[in-house]
Structure 1
Amino acid sequence: MQGATMGKIGVFDSGVGGLTVLHALHRRLPAEPTVYLGDTARVPYGTKSPDTVIRYSRTNARFLLQHDLRLLVVACNTATAHALEALQAELPVPVIGVVEPGARAAAALTRTRRIGVIGTAGTIASGAYQRALAQAIPGAEVVARACPLLVPLAEEGWTEGEVPRLVVERYLGDLRGSIDTLVLGCTHYPLLKEAIADVLGPQVALVDSAEATAAAVEDALRGRPAAGGGTPTRRYFVTDVPARFPEIAARFLGHVPEAVEQVDV
């Protein structure tokens, strides 16, 4: 196909949360071949030092570059916060993280400039979203909050009913009426959108950072379509025994992934 470009979209995360980004990419760019790496042997990144996160991110990127990439997505908020600039400076392909697209989407949605952002303790402590929102929306009032229990709820499939609603109420109930936009600053959180929306009400717009990141990738590749022909390849790698990976991944992707391979990066 004239103008078509060879190469895959590479995506890495510390575990399985980045599969929400991959799912959004598959919906937006169904013809694009992808390769995913979940660093399940070293998860979570949020408890690691910035230097360690940068080191892990470099090894993940080097592994994925072996698979003929034309673009890399850092689908981990902690890795985006600490390693994105280093990867962008060092790698021979474009690198997109999950923080800036979410901040830009919030800037487009907010009416009052009162914005909430939720994430893991590591992401919130890094200040990455707070800085990105300050740049995207000068003068914005930003409330940042860690919601660590939402990750295990998403992975266990407890995304509907009383339990997730009570947890979300405990974390976010006091924000009702005080913000008009909430950034879901963890790739697990889109699975709990229904519970979050139920607690905060329809007056609060939810920004899905996975969807925002997929839109940013689509923009970056505009005019550079993948080579046509056949079903695009979709490969999945993990750094620890994949045991429950297919089961958990199905909650994020909406289907059981094809063969999952274990690798040492």
Structure 2
Amino acid sequence: MKRPIGVIDSGVGGLTVAHEMMRQLPNETLIYLGDTLRCPYGSRSEQEIIQFTNEMVDFLLKKNIKMLVIACNTATAYTLENLRKTLPIPVLGVIKPGARAAIKMTVSNSIGVIGTEATIKSNAYEKALKNIKPEIEVQSLPCPLFVPMVESGILSGRKAEEIVRESLAPFIKQKNMDTLVLGCTHYPLLKETIQSVTGDDIKIISSSDETAREASAILEVHELLRADDDKTDHMFYTTGELDVFERITRELFKTTVHDIQKVNIHQINNSI
């Protein structure tokens, strides 16, 4: 089936998921939408998160997508179940795939989760982890500075390391924790810096790989996989400025992405 897969995120972080999907599903066409204008979602109210996510979904449904991937942990935590009930297409989030990957990796059964304030407040990862393995010990930590840092293009260097080190200070002292879940799709863009701060004894888990594998399995079950190998024309949309978005795509994809457009999907109001 030649219809595209829709991928949404609050900004550029979901590009890590899109990149892995492009690698694992080379025949599929993706349409990516990042709401960079209103990023980050992690400090937003639940009502705003739901409203903004629904506006992104409405935009992509007009593109005749065959599947929706919510490549944003915050949006997944607050909208996944309702979207699954209301949309006529398969919907996949990033929290459960990330939780499953962490369970596979941990030896000590002590897992750390870092994410936005809203994601950590939702306890979505702790619930997902304990549903799989009740004896798991979960420690959660909000890192509100990480998303703005990524959205401004600060991915490495002294400033990035200082912010990461200060943010993760409460976790560095945890002796039993052997696995750290990056509970925000922006965070893999900081993975090298995070790993240098935590040390090699901590296994860093990104949900991107597992999400792409689940997307492939869901498409196969629903008989939605694209059978031909014709050229795929991916499209990327952003609600904010193009410069940082273009810079992140170049760094992540190791090539220049030409099909990027700025779009207006929302009603701006002065209270937001």
Match runs of 1:146-225 below 5 Å? 146-173=142-169, 174-175=172-173, 177-222=175-220, 224=223, 225=225
What residue in structure 1 maps to residue 102 of structure 2?
Answer: 106
Match runs of 1:18-57 below 5 Å? 18-57=14-53
Kindly state the Cα deviation for residue 91 of structure 1 after the two structures are TM-superposed: 0.5
Distance 1:234 1:164 in 2: 31
Kindly state the Cα deviation for residue 238 of structure 1 after the two structures are TM-superposed: 1.9
Kindly state the Cα deviation for residue 241 of structure 1 after the two structures are TM-superposed: 4.4
Give 1:264's aligned amino acid.
N
Paired residues in the alignment total: 261
Distance 1:157 1:245 in 2: 9
Out of 84-93 and 32-41, give the one that drifted further: 32-41
CA contact (8 A) 1:176 1:200 kept: no
Distance 2:216 2:92 in 1: 11
What residue in structure 1 maps to residue 58 of structure 2?
Answer: 62
Kindly state the Cα deviation for residue 148 of structure 1 after the two structures are TM-superposed: 2.2
* Structure 2, unpaired ranges of 5+: 266-272
Distance 1:52 1:124 in 2: 17
What residue in structure 2 maps to residue 263 of structure 1?
Answer: 263
CA contact (8 A) 1:21 1:210 kept: yes
Distance 2:168 2:245 in 1: 30
Cα RMSD between the aligned structures?
1.9
Distance 2:154 2:240 in 1: 24
CA contact (8 A) 2:40 2:148 kept: no
CA contact (8 A) 1:17 1:252 kept: no
Q: For residues 234 and 197 of structure 1, do their structure 2 counterparts lie closer, same or farther at Cα, with a shift above 3 Å needed?
A: same
Give 1:38's aligned amino acid.
G
Distance 1:129 1:103 in 2: 7
State the secondary structure of the residue aligned to 2:119.
helix
> In percent, how many aligned pairs have the same letter?
42
What residue in structure 1 maps to residue 239 of structure 2?
Answer: 239
Kindly state the Cα deviation for residue 236 of structure 1 after the two structures are TM-superposed: 1.1
Kindly state the Cα deviation for residue 140 of structure 1 after the two structures are TM-superposed: 1.2
Kindly state the Cα deviation for residue 82 of structure 1 after the two structures are TM-superposed: 0.4
Match runs of 1:67-146 below 5 Å? 67-146=63-142
CA contact (8 A) 1:37 1:237 kept: yes
CA displacement 1:115-163 (0-9 Å, x = unmatched): 0001112211221112111212212111101122222333344333433
Give 2:46's aligned amino acid.
P
CA contact (8 A) 1:20 1:253 kept: no
CA contact (8 A) 2:42 2:144 kept: no
CA contact (8 A) 1:118 1:145 kept: yes
CA contact (8 A) 1:39 1:239 kept: yes
Q: For residues 8 and 52 of structure 1, do their structure 2 counterparts lie closer, same or farther at Cα, with a shift above 3 Å needed?
A: same
Distance 1:240 1:165 in 2: 26
Q: For residues 169 and 47 of structure 1, do their structure 2 counterparts lie closer, same or farther at Cα, with a shift above 3 Å needed?
A: closer
Distance 1:249 1:100 in 2: 26
Out of 98-107 and 198-207, give the one that drifted further: 198-207
Q: TM-score, normalised by structure 1?
A: 0.90
